[in-house]
Amino acid sequence: MNIPNQLTLARLVLTAIFVAVVSIHSLPERYSIGLVLFILGALTDFLDGYIARKHNLITNFGKLMDPLADKVLMCSAFVILTRDALIPAWIVIAMLAREFLVTGLRLLATSQGAVLAADSLGKLKTVLQIVTIIYLLMFIASQETMFAWSAFLFEWKWTSPAIAGSAIIGVTAFVTVYSGMSYMVKNRGLLQDVS
């Protein structure tokens, strides 16, 4: 297994550890540790694609598993943030529906001998989701010792969760849903045989 694919699998492992850590309520710095784990997971997303393209290590496994590992990481983080009432549940449900639809379309393509790689809009969606999650995790972590230095960032009106947080969440939700619709329209030919 090449390095990009190993990084993809590492992202899945980091996701499991991330969810476990932020779920341990007795852990004093759980969100600070979770933030670091999430950032490491997001970095593996950048690195696996960069290495695969630079060294021509693109594989069908990577084309399928890289977006899937992204979805597992992002969806896990959004569910945690919903649990902690930092993002409305209906937005996360819309995002999850988009991910299930696109994953279903990818599985359908695979059954027909095709592999659908992520497009540029999908990559923008991923970047926005990463920014949103890091912002919200940083907000919670700023109330813990490790990231207490960052608390001032959320006290200013324009960078507060009420304004900046709402704007980031709104833009991310829109791009996520729009990119899913675009993906379905672009690949509608795969659905013509479905009865």
- What is the token pair recorded at 79? 């569910």
**Domains annotated on the chain, with CATH:** 3-191 (1.20.120.1760)
pLDDT (tens digit per residue) in 11-25: 999 999 999 999 999
pLDDT reported for residue 117: 66
Please compute the mean of the pLDDT values over residues 107-120 and round it to a whole number: 74
What's the pLDDT tens digit per position in 67-77?
A: 788 889 999 99
Mean pLDDT of the region 118-140? 91
Could you tell me if 163 and 185 are in contact, meaning their C-beta atoms sit under 8 angstroms apart?
no
Q: What is the mean pLDDT of residues 98-126?
A: 80
Check residue 53 and give its pLDDT: 85
**Type of residue at 8:** T
pLDDT of residue 193: 60
Residue 17 to residue 6: CA distance in whole angstroms: 17
The two three-digit tokens of residue 30, written as one number: 């759980």
Name the pLDDT band for 178 (thresholds 50, 70, 90): very high
- Reduced to 3 states, what is the DSSP secondary structure of residue 157? helix
Higher pLDDT, 123 or 17: 17
Q: Using 50, 70 and 90 to split pLDDT, how confident is the model at 118? A: low
The pLDDT assigned to 110 comes to 74
pLDDT at 98 over 80: yes
Residues 1-55 have pLDDT tens digits of: 889 899 999 999 999 999 999 999 999 999 999 999 999 999 998 898 889 888 8
Range 29-47 burial, b when 16+ CB lie within 10 A, else e: ebbbbbbbbbeebbebbeb
Q: For 154, phi and psi rounded to 5 degrees?
A: -100, 0
